[in-house]
C-alpha cells in the first residue's frame, strides 16, 4: 500500500483545530452555496394527493404523425387500488404522479382523442409499463398511420441500445476519469464523488429556477463543481495528507462527507424529482438509429471533452506532470514538480468533470434528485476498477464497457430493474481474473 | 416541549431491538475491520441475506423457525465465501468496492419485479414472525410498560448480543484471535510464520458475516416485515459510525456505540421536533429535521475518523491501519 508523506508531529498538533474549522467552514459554505435552492425547490411540508407531491412520475408527450401536439386527452394509470388521471396540456405533455415504483397499467382514453386521430396500428392500449431505477417513466403512444409501432426488431433494438449505452458510458466516463485521476495522484478512493455528480445537476436546476439564462446556469454550475473540488482539497484532503492520515481512514472520511453532503442537498432541494429545461424531447431518426436529441448532445459533448482531456494529458507539460505524479509522487516531487499544485488542479478538474457528468446524467435519466449521484457511484467505481484503478484511459474504456453493458443487458432479456446488477457482477468477475483491470499495469495488488 | 417524554423515548432506545440489531452488525464489523483489518462495506448485504434467508425459507418453504435460522446462517456464510474468494487476496480498497457492490446486487435482486412471488419486490415480505412469537414463554401482561411480544424480542435480542459478545471475546483472546490480529498488523510477517493468511481472513469474514445475518433477523422480527429499502448502503455507513463511536478493536465498543448512536438520534429528533412544534424554530420543517440528523451522522463519522480513528473507547495501538 502506498502512504502519503508523514507530517511533523509538532505541526500535527497545531493543525488539529484548524482542520476542524476547515471542515465546518466547508459544510457551512455548502449550506450557503445551496441556500438559494430553498426558494427554488421549496419542498411542500404537508403532502397532499396532487400530482406534484408524488416522487415518482409517469409522463410522456402526445404527438400525432405530423408531430403536432394533442391536447386534452385523458390518460389513466392504475396499479392495485391506486388510480391517477391526467389530461395532456396544450403542448401535448402529460404527467401522472404515482406513490411508488412498480408496474402500472397505462390507458389512453381513445374517446377523448381529437377528430380524425387514432392510435397507430399495433399500439397497445391499455399497456403495462414498469419503472426501472429512475423515478420518472416515459410512455410514448404512437398515432395515425404514418408511424407504425414496430414489432421489437432485435437488430434495430440492439443498435439503439448500443448508441444509448455509448452515450451513458461516456457520461459515466466524465465522472470516472476525475475519480481515477484523484485516485492516481492521492491514493484516495473518493466515495463523495457521487455527490459531486449530483451537485452539477442541482446547481443547473437552482440557477435556472432563479431566472438565469440556461447557458449561464450551465457555466455557473460547472464553475460551482470546480469550486467544490477545490474547496474539498483545500479544506479537507490537503490538511489530512499533511497529517499523514492513512488511505483507509481517508476513505471512511469521504463516506462521512458523502453522507453529509447528500443530506445537505436534500435539506435544500427536497426529495422530489425536478426536471431541467428541455428535459423531454421526442426521439429523432438518425440513419438506422433512433435517439433523443438530448442523448445525441450528451454523446457529442462528453466525447469532445474527453478527447480534449486526453490531448492535454498526453501533449502538454501539465498533463505530463499529472501523469508523473500519478505514477510516483515522491519521484515527481524530487524532479521539481509541484505535487500539491498538480493535486489541486486534479481536484478542480475532477469536480468540473463530475458536475458536467451530473448535468448529462440528469438529461439521460431524466430528472434531478438529491441521490442521483450516489445511484451511479457504484457504476463509476465499476468503470474505474474495470479499466484499472488510477489509469485515466482505463477509466474511459471501463466506463464505456459498463455503459454499453448496462444498456445491452435489457436487450438480452434481463429485466430493466436488474440492469445495474450485470455491470456490478462483471466487475467482480474481472477482479477474479485480472485484478489490475483491463489497462492497469501488472503489479502486486494484494 | 415535554422533556420527560423526549428523555423517556431516548432512554427507550437503549434497549430497543433495533439497537440490538445495530450492535450485533457492528460487532460483526469489529471482527472484520477492527480485528482483521478487512474493509467490509457490505454489512447491509449480509443483514439482507440473513433477513431474506429467514423470511423466504419461512414463507416460501414453510420451514420451522430454527430451520429458517439455520438457512439464514448458512446463506450468509455462503455469501461471505463468494465474496472472499475473489477479493481476500487483493488490497483493502478492492475488498471495499466489491463488498459494497455485492450488497447492492443483493438489494437489486430482492427489489426486482421478476421475483415478486418470492421476495415481494419493493414491498418486501411480511407475516413470517409467527413461529418466533409462538415460542414466547411470557404470558400476556405488562412488562415495564411493554407487552409480552415487545418484551420477548428484547430479551432474545439482547441475550443474543451478550452471547455473541462473549463468543467474540473468547475467540479474540484465543491463539486464533492472536493470529488474526497479527494479520491486521503485518500480513507478510504472519505468512512467513507459516500461517495460511487467506484461510484466517476467510474465517473472519464468515464469522462477521454470520453476526450480520443474525442482526438482520433481529432487525426484521419486531417489524414483522422485511423491505429492501432498509438495506441500502447507508445502513453500512451508520454501522461504521456506531463502530467508531464505540471502539474499533473492542468487544463492548460496538454495543455501546450502537446505544449512543440511537440515543443521540432519538434525542436530536425529540428536541428538534419539540422546538418546531413550539414555534421556536421556524426555518426548519419536520422533514428537514430528519435530514439534519443524517447530516450530523455524516459529520460525526468524518470527525471521529479524523480525530479518534480508534473509536471513542478504542486503543490507539490496536489500529487496523497506520
Distances (CA, A) of A375 to A368, B108, B302: 12, 12, 22
* Contact assignment for B322 to A3 by CB distance below 8 Å: yes
Question: Nearest-CA neighbor of B71 among B220, B79, B159?
Answer: B79
Phi first, then psi, for residue B118 (nearest 5°) are -95, -45
Residue-wise pLDDT for A295-311, tens only, equals: 889 999 999 999 999 99
Q: Which one of B37, B41, B89, B93 would you mutate to disrupt binding with A, by most A Cβ within 10 Å of its Cβ?
A: B93
What averages of pLDDT result for each successive group of 10 residues across chain B (322 residues)?
A: 83 91 96 92 95 93 92 96 85 83 92 86 86 87 84 94 97 94 90 93 96 95 90 93 89 94 91 85 80 90 89 76 53
Of A247, A256, A427, which is closest to B305 when you measure between CB atoms?
Answer: A256
Q: How far is CA B81 from the centre of its chain?
A: 19
Convert B177-198 to b/e letters by CB count within 10 Å (16 or more is b): bebbbbbbeebeebeeeebebb
CB contact set of A315 (below 8 Å; sequence gap of 6+): none
Q: How far apart are CA B257 and CA B23, in angstroms?
A: 8
pTM assigned to the model? 0.80
Of B237, B179, B219, give the one whose Cα is nearest residue B24: B219
Question: Which residue of chain B is at minimal alpha-carbon distance from A259?
Answer: B298
| Angle (CA) B249 B253 B258, round 5° | 130
Burial (0-12, 13-18, 19+ Cβ within 10 Å), A244: middle
- Take residue A392 and report the three cell numbers written for it: 485515466
- How far is the C-alpha of A85 from the C-alpha of A96, rounded, in Å? 6
Q: For residue B64, what is its C-alpha cell?
A: 420451522
Yes or no, beta carbons of A253 and B93 under 8 Å apart: no
The pLDDT value recorded for residue B90 is 78
| Chain A residues close to B287, C-beta within 8 Å | 43, 45, 271
Strand spans (E) along chain B: 125-126, 225-226
**Contact list, B79 vs chain A (CB under 8 Å):** none
Q: How far apart are CA A395 and CA A387, in angstroms?
A: 5
Confidence of residue A23 (pLDDT cuts 50, 70, 90): low
The dihedrals phi and psi of A207, each to the nearest 5 degrees, come to -65, -40
Write out chain A residues lying below 8 Å of B39, CB-based: 248, 251
Contacts of A328 (CB under 8 A, 6+ apart): none
CB contact under 8 A, B108 and A262: no
Gap between the Cα atoms of B120 and B51, Å rounded:
13
Largest CA distance in chain A: 84
CB-CB under 8 Å, B234 with A252 = no
Contact A263 B291 (CB under 8 A): yes
Q: Which residue of B has its CA nearest to A422?
A: B105
Query: How crowded is residue A153: how many other Cβ atoms within 10 Å of its Cβ?
Result: 10
- pLDDT on residue A10: 42
Nearest-CA distance A317 → chain B (Å): 31
Choose the closest CB to A256 out of B105, B121, B301: B301
Q: What is the pLDDT of residues A242-281, one digit of tens each?
A: 998 888 889 999 999 999 999 999 999 988 888 888 877 7
- Find which of A37-46, A412-421, B244-253 is predicted with most confidence, using mean pLDDT: B244-253
- ipTM value, please give it: 0.90
Q: What pLDDT sits at residue A19?
A: 52
To the nearest whole Å, the CA of A330 is away from the closest chain B CA by 19
Q: How many CB pairs under 8 A join A and B?
A: 151
Question: Degrees (nearest 5) of the Cα angle B137, B142, B143?
Answer: 70
Q: Would you state the pLDDT for residue B235? A: 94
CA distance B310 to B250: 10
Contact: B303, A20; criterion CB under 8 Å: yes
Distance CA A37, CA A224 (A): 14
Q: For residue B285, what is the nearest residue in chain A, using CA coordinates?
A: A45
Domain annotation for chain B: domains and CATH numbers: 3-320 (1.10.3470)
Which alpha helices (DSSP H) does A274-338 contain, by range? 293-315, 317-327, 329-334
pLDDT at residue A44, rounded to an integer: 37
Amino acid at each position: 500500500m502506498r502512504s502519503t508523506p508523514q507530517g511533523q508531529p509538532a505541526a500535527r498538533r497545531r493543525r488539529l483545530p484548524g482542520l476542524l474549522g476547515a471542515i465546518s467552514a466547508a459544510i457551512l459554505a455548502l449550506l450557503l452555496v445551496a441556500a438559494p435552492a430553498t426558494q427554488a425547490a421549496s419542498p411542500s411540508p404537508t403532502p397532499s394527493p396532487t400530482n406534484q407531491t408524488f416522487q415518482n412520475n409517469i409522463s410522456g408527450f402526445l404527438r400525432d404523425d405530423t408531430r403536432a401536439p394533442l391536447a386534452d386527452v385523458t390518460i389513466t394509470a392504475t396499479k392495485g387500488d391506486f388510480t391517477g388521471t391526467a389530461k395532456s396540456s396544450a403542448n401535448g405533455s402529460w404527467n401522472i404522479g404515482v406513490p411508488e415504483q412498480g408496474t402500472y397499467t397505462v390507458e389512453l382514453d381513445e374517446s377523448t382523442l381529437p377528430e380524425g386521430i387514432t392510435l397507430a396500428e399495433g399500439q397497445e392500449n391499455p399497456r403495462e409499463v414498469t419503472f426501472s431505477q429512475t423515478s420518472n417513466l416515459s410512455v410514448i403512444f404512437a398515432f395515425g398511420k404514418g408511424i407504425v409501432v414496430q414489432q421489437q426488431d432485435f437488430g434495430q433494438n440492439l443498435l439503439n441500445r448500443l448508441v444509448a449505452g455509448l452515450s451513458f458510458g461516456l457520461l459515466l466516463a466524465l465522472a470516472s476519469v476525475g475519480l481515477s485521476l484523484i485516485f492516481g495522484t492521492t491514493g484516495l478512493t473518493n466515495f463523495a464523488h457521487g455527490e459531486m455528480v449530483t451537485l452539477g445537476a442541482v446547481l443547473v436546476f437552482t440557477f435556472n429556477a432563479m431566472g438565469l439564462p440556461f447557458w449561464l446556469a450551465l457555466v455557473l454550475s460547472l464553475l460551482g463543481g470546480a469550486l467544490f473540488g477545490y474547496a474539498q482539497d483545500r479544506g479537507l484532503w490537503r490538511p489530512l495528507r499533511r497529517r499523514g492520515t492513512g488511505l483507509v481512514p481517508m476513505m471512511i472520511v469521504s463516506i462521512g462527507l458523502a453522507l453529509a453532503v447528500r443530506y445537505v442537498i436534500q435539506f435544500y432541494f427536497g426529495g422530489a424529482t425536478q426536471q431541467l429545461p428541455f428535459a423531454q424531447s421526442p426521439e429523432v431518426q438518425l440513419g438506422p438509429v433512433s435517439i433523443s436529441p438530448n442523448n445525441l448532445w450528451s454523446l457529442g459533448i462528453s466525447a469532445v471533452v474527453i478527447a480534449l482531456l486526453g490531448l492535454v494529458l498526453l501533449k502538454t507539460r501539465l498533463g505530463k506532470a499529472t501523469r508523473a505524479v500519478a505514477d510516483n509522487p515522491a519521484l515527481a516531487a524530487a524532479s521539481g514538480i509541484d505535487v500539491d499544485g498538480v493535486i489541486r488542479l486534479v481536484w478542480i478538474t475532477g469536480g468540473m468533470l463530475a458536475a458536467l457528468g451530473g448535468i448529462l446524467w440528469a438529461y439521460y435519466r431524466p430528472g434531478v434528485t438529491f441521490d442521483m449521484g450516489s445511484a451511479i457511484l457504484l457504476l463509476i467505481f465499476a468503470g474505474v476498477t474495470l479499466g484499472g484503478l488510477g489509469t485515466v484511459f482505463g477509466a474511459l474504456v471501463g466506463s464505456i464497457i459498463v455503459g454499453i453493458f448496462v444498456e445491452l443487458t435489457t436487450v438480452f432479456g434481463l429485466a430493466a430493474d436488474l440492469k445495474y446488477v450485470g455491470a456490478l457482477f462483471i466487475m467482480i468477475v474481472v477482479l477474479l481474473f485480472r485484478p489490475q483491470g483491463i489497462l492497469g499495469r501488472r503489479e502486486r495488488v494484494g | 416541549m415535554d422533556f420527560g417524554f423526549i428523555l423517556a423515548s431516548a432512554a427507550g432506545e437503549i434497549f430497543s431491538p433495533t439497537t440490538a440489531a445495530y450492535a450485533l452488525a457492528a460487532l460483526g464489523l469489529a471482527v472484520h475491520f477492527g480485528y482483521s483489518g478487512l474493509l467490509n462495506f457490505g454489512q447491509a448485504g449480509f443483514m439482507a441475506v440473513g433477513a431474506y434467508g429467514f423470511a423466504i425459507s419461512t414463507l416460501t418453504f414453510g420451514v420451522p423457525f430454527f430451520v429458517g435460522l439455520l438457512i439464514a446462517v448458512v446463506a450468509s456464510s455462503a455469501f461471505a465465501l463468494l465474496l472472499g474468494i475473489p477479493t481476500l487476496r487483493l488490497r483493502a480498497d478492492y475488498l471495499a468496492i466489491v463488498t459494497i457492490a455485492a450488497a447492492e446486487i443483493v438489494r437489486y435482486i430482492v427489489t426486482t419485479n421478476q421475483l415478486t412471488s418470492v421476495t415481494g419486490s419493493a414491498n418486501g415480505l411480511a407475516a413470517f414472525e409467527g413461529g418466533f412469537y409462538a415460542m414466547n414463554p411470557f404470558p400476556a401482561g405488562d412488562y415495564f410498560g411493554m407487552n409480552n411480544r415487545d418484551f420477548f424480542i428484547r430479551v432474545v435480542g439482547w441475550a443474543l448480543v451478550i452471547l455473541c459478545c462473549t463468543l467474540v471475546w473468547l475467540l479474540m483472546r484465543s491463539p486464533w484471535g492472536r493470529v488474526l490480529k497479527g494479520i491486521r498488523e503485518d500480513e507478510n510477517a504472519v505468512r512467513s510464520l507459516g500461517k495460511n493468511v487467506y484461510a484466517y481472513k476467510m474465517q473472519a469474514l464468515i464469522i462477521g458475516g454470520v453476526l450480520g445475518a443474525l442482526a438482520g433477523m433481529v432487525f426484521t422480527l419486531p417489524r414483522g416485515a422485511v423491505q429492501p429499502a432498509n438495506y441500502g448502503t447507508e445502513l453500512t455507513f451508520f454501522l461504521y459510525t456506531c463502530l467508531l463511536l464505540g471502539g474499533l478493536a473492542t468487544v463492548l465498543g460496538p454495543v455501546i456505540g450502537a446505544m449512543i448512536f440511537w440515543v443521540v438520534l432519538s434525542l436530536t429528533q425529540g428536541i428538534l421536533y419539540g422546538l418546531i412544534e413550539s414555534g421556536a424554530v421556524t426555518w426548519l420543517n419536520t422533514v428537514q429535521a430528519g435530514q439534519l440528523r443524517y447530516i450530523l451522522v455524516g459529520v460525526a463519522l468524518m470527525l471521529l475518523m479524523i480525530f479518534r480513528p480508534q473509536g471513542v473507547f478504542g486503543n490507539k495501538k490496536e489500529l487496523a491501519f497506520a
